[in-house]
Amino acid sequence: MIKGVGVDIIAVRRVEKMIKAHGEVFCARVFTRRETEYCQRFRRPEERFAGRFAAKEAVLKALGTGWRGGISWQDVEISQTRSGPPEVKLSGAAETEAKKLGVQKIYLSISHSRGYALAFAIAEGGT
């Protein structure tokens, strides 16, 4: 059963500006170490960072929480599976909120095109 749907879009340039202005402080606040290492492997890391930024926003929209209730950026981690699709790992307050809602799995899609990153999340759970 679908518990929630979330979508977010962000200009890659906006994330690129935040990284240039705040560097490691911004990355450490928003992304986990694994996310940062993953993004930095690419020729245009700002696209990957923007995709993960949008993904975190989309996930919290799917949960219906936004950033309320003590949820931090670090509570939502986006990783890549070997076969390609991104995976969501929740911890802390985000995990607690998902359990309260009965969410068992979050499906996620991330796309980059023409200077934008878009993410779409579906939260699924039992009846």
Q: Which of 22, 61, 99, 100 is catalytic?
A: 61
In contact, 87 and 80? CB cutoff 8 Å: yes
**Residue 112 designated active-site:** yes
Q: Strand 2-11 vs strand 116-125: parallel, antiparallel, or unpaired?
A: antiparallel
Query: From residue 94, how far is each of 39, 40, 47, 49, 78 by CA, in Å?
Result: 22, 25, 25, 20, 13
Residue 112 CB burial class (10 angstroms; 0-12, 13-18, ≥19): middle
**Residue 22 designated active-site:** no
Residue 96 CB burial class (10 angstroms; 0-12, 13-18, ≥19): middle
Q: Which residues are catalytic?
A: 61, 112
